[in-house]
Amino acid sequence: QITLKESGPTLVKPTQTLTLTCTFSGFSLSTSGVGVGWIRQPPGKALEWLALIYWDDDKRYSPSLKSRLTITKDTSKNQVVLTMTNMDPVDTATYYCARKQQLVRQDWFDPWGQGTLVTVSS
């Protein structure tokens, strides 16, 4: 069974740095084709992809947030960490991590973690 779970602060102040950890089980991030991504969802709004890290440590970021994001992995701990700098109230959202599954050139996110709500407020 594959599971992912996000952890981190529920409340951060404006200008602070957010650090979120995705702890997963049931798969290895050293397996070719596998990745872990972060997606967020502001309350009542749509999903927004943030970042992705591949099994070979290749990394991709949303261009609009690239300057603020860093994604890393610790394969031995089965963890992926996302940091987002200079947090603002508009960054208030539920943050999800999800496994990126790949078949030939097709890929998709499955499964997803339960999500963690992060509120940015002073």
**List of residues contacting other proteins (CB under 8 A):** 37, 46-49, 52, 60, 62-63, 96, 98, 103, 105-115
CA distances from 24 to 42, 73, 78, 85, 98 (A): 23, 11, 6, 24, 9
C-beta of 45 vs 90, nearer to other proteins? 45
Please report how close the Cβ of residue 2 comes to other proteins at its closest, in angstroms.
Answer: 12
User: Tokens representing 66?
Assistant: 């690239």
Least Å distance, CB 30 to other proteins, is: 20
Hunting for tokens 């949303």 — which residue is that?
Answer: 62
Compare residues 17 and 108 and give the one whose CB is closer to other proteins.
108
Taking the C-alpha atoms of residue 14 and residue 100, their distance in angstroms, rounded to an integer, is 31
- Least Å distance, CB 112 to other proteins, is 4
